[in-house]
Amino acid sequence: MRQPEPLEIGVMFWAGGDPAATLQEVKSLGVRCGQLGIPGTMPLNDAVTAAWKQALEAEQFTLVTVFAAYDGESYADIPTVQRTVGFIPETTRAEREARTYAISDFAAALGVPSIACHIGFIPEDPANPDYKAVREMVRRVADYAARHGQTFALETGQEPARVLLRFIEDVARPNVRINFDPANMILYGTGDPIEALDLLGPLVISVHCKDGDWPPRDRPGALGTERPLGQGSVGIRRFIQKLKQLGYRGTLNIEREVEDREQRLADIRTAVRLLEQIKAELA
């Protein structure tokens, strides 16, 4: 696969339909690289892998990350995320670990250098049994990914930057990195994303360009609201400027999670133009 330019604009998108048609739709937004999410219920087998490999070659499209999502996850509100997402729920840990290995194998077959997921809310207390179980699981996944020469990126947002940093230091695996999503820090109310980037910068291997507003103060447990890029509280220009200052050389992956397909595509098109403009201004 072609190596993307530093700060090349990409899109975070999801598998499910025909791979070639999916890539053609993403390319119609004006990008040639991105991150592929695999829904938790999607079968992963040799036929699926072969179809993606062929489509990526035919469309000359570069994947920088394969993202794992897991069956049974829900992002309805913060307590539901705590209960259902990532490596935290005890009853699904074994099946999600096996699934993550399958994602790593799939990514390796496509020549993708990084896998990623939300591991869920990391408890602040290292003595918490969930903390220890998740740390051991992250170590095993990291070691598995390392055998494929991959990084394993943890998505930000569900805990404050200092908690994530301490956890990663405790995991102590050189290929564990961060997929930094500035909007998540706001949506979950965990802290200012630009300050967080100062702390986490050296570990950031990939980013989401997503925007959003803080949670409503009168509804405890509610998430903030995602917004089209440039219309939320992230300060996307400041975000790109900070990435440049830190010497980030990965791609800028636009993520838009609004349900309506047409709206999502229109918002991503607008976001591509916004990022092009910001990059030109900062060049």
Minimal CA–CA distance to 133: which of 98, 180, 167? 167
Shortest CB 210 distance to Mg ion, Å: 6
Shortest CB 241 distance to Mg ion, Å: 20
How far CA 7 is from CA of 10, 121, 270, 278, in Å, comes to: 9, 29, 17, 11
Q: Report angle CA 224, 171, 124 to the nearest 5 degrees.
A: 45
Minimal CA–CA distance to 186: which of 165, 164, 215? 215
Shortest CB 157 distance to Mg ion, Å: 7
Minimal CA–CA distance to 183: which of 246, 235, 249, 242? 235
Coil, strand, or helix at residue 201? helix
Nearer to Mg ion, 55 or 200 (CB): 200
Q: What are phi and psi of 273, to 5 degrees?
A: -65, -40
Q: Which residue is nearest to Mg ion (CB)?
A: 181
Minimal CA–CA distance to 207: which of 49, 23, 22, 33? 33
Which amino acid is residue 235, in one-letter code?
G
- For residue 40, count CB atoms less than 10 angstroms from its CB and return exposed for 0-12, middle for 13-18, buried for 19 or more: middle
Q: Which residues make up the interface to Mg ion (CB under 5 A)?
A: 181, 208, 255
Quote the CA–CA distance of 93 and 110 in Å, as a whole number: 26
